[in-house]
Chain A
Amino acid sequence: MKGISHFAIGLAAASCFPAAVRAGAEGNPLYFILAGIFGLLPDTLDFKFIRFLYKSELGVIPDPLRPDAQPIADAVALAVARAHAENRNVNVKLNTIKLAADRWQRYQVRFDVPGRRVCVSYGLVVDTGGNPIRGAVAPVVAEACVPLPCGIEIEYLATTDVDIFDGPVYRMEPTRDGRVRPVFIPWHRNWTHSFVTAFIFGLAGAAIWDAAAGGVIFAAFAAHALADQLGYLGSNLFAPFSRRRTPGLKLMHATWALPNFAAVWLSGLLIFWNLARDTTGGISGMNPLRYVFFAGALPLLAFALMVKEEPLEGPGQGQSASQARES
């Protein structure tokens, strides 16, 4: 989900704590500030710290002036081969191709599991929003396919579009059965999206402030991980006690408009309900069913009629790296 959805869910979680609501009404913003910060903190840690510090052994910098898919496919294949031969993890970073200030050349990396090969093809020229640019001519580049020395175990998606900002890292992980598992952006959704980390942060919050602050921090942080489980990638929910991400429920993509809007809107409604409950005479005039129908269902239905989401992909199909980035 997008950052604002996590942020709003965090605030909504805080509003469920009567101590936070009372403090807010008395002019103390602490609990809600903590909720917002810790609601967004898992992604902040991942994308503003860990991503930059995570080291890759191999990197591909495609030349914008001489488009060629072959070196990209070669690099991915080399990483797989090295991981397989040396029985160790090998990180490879696939950099994006920036053509101009708001112009990016998209390319697609596809693991052909039955064919035991990796294929790279060039796609459309897109803007920073990931939208195809009208009138921009994409280069005609032949698809490059390179055979792999071993089988591939797909954990996430077989196809990735690399387009805007920073490109993805793959960690090529040897498996016990002699295959290699490409782990997509391995620095993302590990200990930062774990209930254990949420608990530790919560404890620290309780020690620094009070039990309510600890509860708010835990709830906001854990709600982030839970919300992310609705998507594809999943999170390592029990790190450091577990080592791999638990796959998501695959119900939505992080960039979809409706789930994000619904998360923010419903969080807003929950916050308002909880604040009204604390207001003298506030809740008495509110019928919960009417509230849910008129303030929740109708506006969301209206929005749902306006948006057109991209379809959910089936197993083994692609997702843009930028979509995952926003998750």
Chain B
Amino acid sequence: MLLVALSATLGAALAAVLACIPGLHIYNVMAFIVLAAHAQAAAGAPFPIEVLMPLMIGMTVGWSLGGTIPSILLAAPDESALYTVLPGQKFLMAGRGREAVMLTSAGGLVALFILMLVFAPLAPRLVPFAETVMRPHVHWVVWAVICFMLMSEWPKGGRLSLGGWGTFLDGWKTTGSGLLTFLLSGLLGFVLVYRSPVAPEYAFQNLMPAFVGLFTLPWLLLNLVSAVEIPAQQEGEKFGAGWREVLQGGYAGTVGGGFAAFIPVVTGGIGGMLAGHATALRDDRVFLVSQGASRLTYFVGGLLLFFIPGIGLTRGGAAWMLSGLCSPHGYYEYFMAFAAVGLAGGTAFLMLGPLTRGTLWLMQRCGYRPISAVTLGVCVALVLYMTGFMGLIVLAVATGIGLLPVLLGSRRMNCLGVILLPMACNMSGSGPAVAKWLGLL
């Protein structure tokens, strides 16, 4: 038991710190642990399951909570946190960056409690049945999500005019750029899935350069170009939301994140978006709480599905990696996983305060622009290290696409076309035909 506790705590602490490095996805780090575990197993001395499972769970929890910091303070999110950037930036520019991190983390904490108190006792009974019913229908759910995503983009132009075709064209600038972004991202996704330029030895990191380019780099570039100055941040642990806001946002986010965790290909960012729409969230504070909850539920809830006795659902990268190393058999692993989640959650949550203060101190000491430049450098270096030169090419293309919504004011979520479009086509069985039509096969 002590081994489990130590591994989970260590994993959470490590991941919370690593989460502050923009562009570095915890799955990239986990992949190296998995390689090490395979090497150990081949050498006849495998890592004990009581170390490996809690360590990976701890890392997932720590990263889910810690990832709030770069998303809000550095505007460098991964895809699951992309919705926190705009409200986070608003808080940051009002000197309330710390409060924004706390709100988002509070959402994560609510999600953690819901997972432990509601999901844990109910999941073994409900999830297998739900999985049986939904399995043949997942493909149309993904298509429905795509349709809603594209149809719900609000046209921002066309103001200050008396109507007519000129107004129409102006109004459609944002909507059109959103559609274009989705299409281009989808094409990039097809290329990466069917004929990736990334060398085979880096194949397990195939999507990494695209994700960094689509979601992380555009804002960093904008920070550099716009020479934005960050005002002094408010001191103290001010928390601008009451219990009602925290619960509402947390509940909504957990539902959205749960949907994303259960349905393959649908990511935490989409779950957060759906939750925001479904619960009519208009308040930035509640919205941030919901995003924190959605992100944690997506990553941690998705991983916990793997431990449900009898079904072993693999949702998300962590579960896929673990499935290659071990397979949980019963309630021992199930409850061990929840114990690890609880411990890791507590550890990571306690670390958020010092990590936020440290990041803010660094930002104010070095300036936002230099920090953005260094962050950009770290991202590019990571991509080069993990995927080689061709990864940089993919990164450049993805950044070009990722800049479209930033510059034209459409939704950044459309960049998720990179996985949604090829995967939805594959699920419906039309993927190879489309790839052939595109000349990729």
Contact = CB atoms under 8 A, between A and B. Distances in A.
A189 interface: no
**Most chain A beta carbons < 10 A, residue from B134, B137, B164, B283:** B137
A56 B280 contact: no
Contacts of A255: 280, 282
Interface stretch (A106-114, A202-210, A229-237, A301-309): A301-309
Given A25-B136, A55-B164, A260 B280 contact: yes
A260 B139 contact: no
B168 A53 contact: yes
B121 interface: no
Nearest to A29: B140
Contacts of B172: 48, 52
A261 B143 contact: no
A169 B164 CA distance: 14
Contacts of B159: 95-96, 98, 165-167
B144 interface: yes
A302 B117 CA distance: 14
B156 A165 contact: yes
Interface in B139-154: 139-141, 143-144, 147-148, 151-152, 154
Given A53-B163, A55-B164, A257-B280, A36 B148 contact: yes
Interface in A1-49: 2-5, 7-8, 11, 24-29, 32-33, 36-37, 40, 44, 47-49
Nearest to A23: B140
Interface stretch (A123-131, A148-156, A311-319): A123-131
Interface in B114-172: 129-130, 132-134, 136-137, 139-141, 143-144, 147-148, 151-152, 154-156, 158-165, 167-168, 170-172
B159 to A, nearest CB: 5
Contacts of A93: 162-163
Contacts of B148: 3-4, 7, 36, 40
B144 A36 contact: yes
A229 B148 CA distance: 22
Interface stretch (A65-73, A82-90, A176-184, A271-279): A271-279
A279 B168 contact: no
A32 B152 contact: no
A248 interface: no
B390 interface: no
A276 B428 CA distance: 20
A183 B160 CA distance: 20
A293 interface: no
B164 A32 contact: no
Contacts of A296: none
B61 interface: no
Interface in B241-300: 244, 247-248, 251-252, 274, 277-284, 287
Nearest to B122: A294
Given A3-B277, A54-B163, A272 B147 contact: no
**Most chain A beta carbons < 10 A, residue from B162, B172, B244, B281:** B162
A166 B151 contact: no
A326 B280 CA distance: 10
B171 A52 contact: yes
A37 B144 CA distance: 8
Contacts of B170: 52
Contacts of A55: 162-164
A272 B133 contact: yes
Contact of A24 (B130, B136, B152, B252): B136
B357 interface: no
B144 A33 contact: yes
Contacts of B280: 2, 255-257, 260-261, 326
A285 B139 contact: no
Given A27-B429, A279-B132, A303-B248, 18 more contacts: A4-B278, A26-B136, A27-B428, A29-B428, A33-B144, A47-B154, A48-B171, A48-B172, A52-B163, A52-B167, A52-B168, A52-B171, A53-B167, A96-B159, A129-B283, A167-B159, A272-B130, A306-B251
Interface of A: 2-5, 7-8, 11, 24-29, 32-33, 36-37, 40, 44, 47-49, 51-57, 59, 61, 93, 95-96, 98, 102, 127, 129-131, 134, 165-167, 169, 255-257, 260-261, 264-265, 272, 275-276, 279, 282, 285, 302-303, 306-308, 326
Interface of B: 90, 94, 129-130, 132-134, 136-137, 139-141, 143-144, 147-148, 151-152, 154-156, 158-165, 167-168, 170-172, 175, 244, 247-248, 251-252, 274, 277-284, 287, 428-429
10 contacts: A11-B144, A32-B141, A52-B158, A98-B159, A127-B90, A165-B156, A255-B282, A264-B278, A282-B133, A303-B279
Ranked nearest first, the 10 interchain pairs of A and B with the lowest CB-CB distance are A29-B140, A52-B168, A4-B277, A129-B282, A55-B163, A25-B136, A264-B278, A32-B140, A306-B248, A257-B280
